[in-house]
Chains A and B, each alone.
Chain A
């Protein structure tokens, strides 16, 4: 039994390893890209719409509504980034119905990469909205004393995002492994 999908190696050549995490991440990306191209191929703006377009519009408008409820003005501006994050993590979990599939979100590398995307996107959106000066000023509000605390909070929330998703996705397998490990101590032969 393996705890992380990183431990399953498909192909290795010297230092380069193709593990399950990389393979399934690229597979998911291809699946999402091909799916997006397929479902948006025949969109119509008329009154007669296909049931797939209706479903797609329900999903997209639901996402826009959720983003708007968080407090973001112009939610459509953030739909591309946040919607992709949601669909990737959701698709990674939904594909577990496929036999032999290992969710890449069960690897700390993937969740850390997703959290790093958020870590980079937050200041970019902040600068785009307030300008560089306005965004940097937000670090010293309400007083300059808060600068270090604000920087620590930026780093810690990125770490928390990565570890939270990793922990939740891996918890099932981890608990079984821990139970198997401690069983000999509880029930010695």
Chain B
């Protein structure tokens, strides 16, 4: 049970930090400028 608890804690820490990274990535994402069609 202790090992399972440690694994759960590790997974929770991973999820929390990855979600924080995803939110930061969403806030820092810049859209690429649209390319003008070649004439």
Contacts and interface: CB of A to CB of B under 8 A. Distances in A.
> Interface of chain A, helix or strand or loop or mixed?
helix
A93 B29 contact: no
A129 interface: yes
Interface of A: 66-67, 70-73, 78, 81-83, 85-90, 92-94, 96-97, 103, 105, 114, 118, 121-123, 125-126, 129-130, 134-135, 138, 157, 161, 164-165, 168-169, 172
Contacts, number: 98
Interface in B1-39: 2, 5-6, 8-10, 12-25, 27-30
> Interface of chain B, helix or strand or loop or mixed?
helix
A85 B8 contact: no
A173 to B, nearest CB: 11
Nearest to B7: A93
A161 B10 contact: no
B6 A78 contact: no
Given A70-B25, A71-B25, A123-B27, A82 B20 contact: yes
B9 A90 contact: yes
A66 B19 CA distance: 11
Given A93-B5, A94-B9, A168-B8, 20 more contacts: A71-B25, A78-B21, A83-B17, A85-B16, A86-B14, A89-B12, A89-B17, A90-B13, A93-B8, A93-B10, A103-B9, A114-B16, A118-B19, A118-B20, A118-B23, A121-B20, A122-B24, A123-B27, A126-B27, A157-B23
